[in-house]
Amino acid sequence: KKLLRSQEQSVRASIIKPEGEKEREVRRAVGEYLKGRINEAFGRLADLIDSGVSHADVFYLFGEISRRKGLYEQAEKYLVKAMRFAVHNPHVYYSLGMIRTIQCRHKEAINLLKHFIKLNETAKGHFELAKSLKQLGIISESALHISRAIELEPRSEFYLFKMQMFKQ
């Protein structure tokens, strides 16, 4: 929930307004996304991209929704475009890190997730980084990131449970 709220705040705060009708369409797409109407937001964003809108936040949101829909190649394409425009958005690094994890490209995932944590430290970021580190057999560093996730969210039974699994 914290990561989603953080993503929502990032999307709301960083939208640079295109002009006129396209500005309203971007706002509508973001509104649909924030209300959980992912398919509607996805359609609006696709229409905006097809109409020639070239903006980091449009690319990020389209890439993020594509990732959630399991369209990883498409997600990667638009997240990379978003990164070229807005290297300051930590969520681009997180989303690309998640795609790299799914693709078993753990070294790349580690670099992206470390950058995400540097820009926006979250328990979820540390946890995802720990998973990739563990996949590469880097157990001690992985355990440190699980511990940090627990420090950031001490009441999370999920992270405590995962820490026990890592110890085994």
Q: Give the tens place of pLDDT for each residue, 24-57.
A: 888 889 889 889 999 999 999 999 999 998 888 8
User: Which of 148, 90, 96, 145 lies closest to 120, judged by CA?
Assistant: 90
- Read off the tokens for 47: 């229409």
Backbone region of residue 70 per phi and psi (left: phi > 0; alpha: psi in -120 to 50; beta: other values): left
- Tokens at residue 121, please? 């430290």
Element spanning 99, H or E? helix 90-102
- Give the Å distances, CA to CA, from 93 to 25, 48, 75, 82, 116: 25, 23, 12, 10, 5
pLDDT, averaged across the chain? 86
Burial degree of 101 (CB within 10 A; 0-12, 13-18, 19+): buried
What pTM was estimated for this model as a whole? 0.79
117 half-sphere exposure, CB direction, 13 A CA radius: 19
**Per-residue pLDDT reduced to its tens digit, 103-124:** 999 999 999 999 999 999 999 9
Mean pLDDT of 59-73: 94
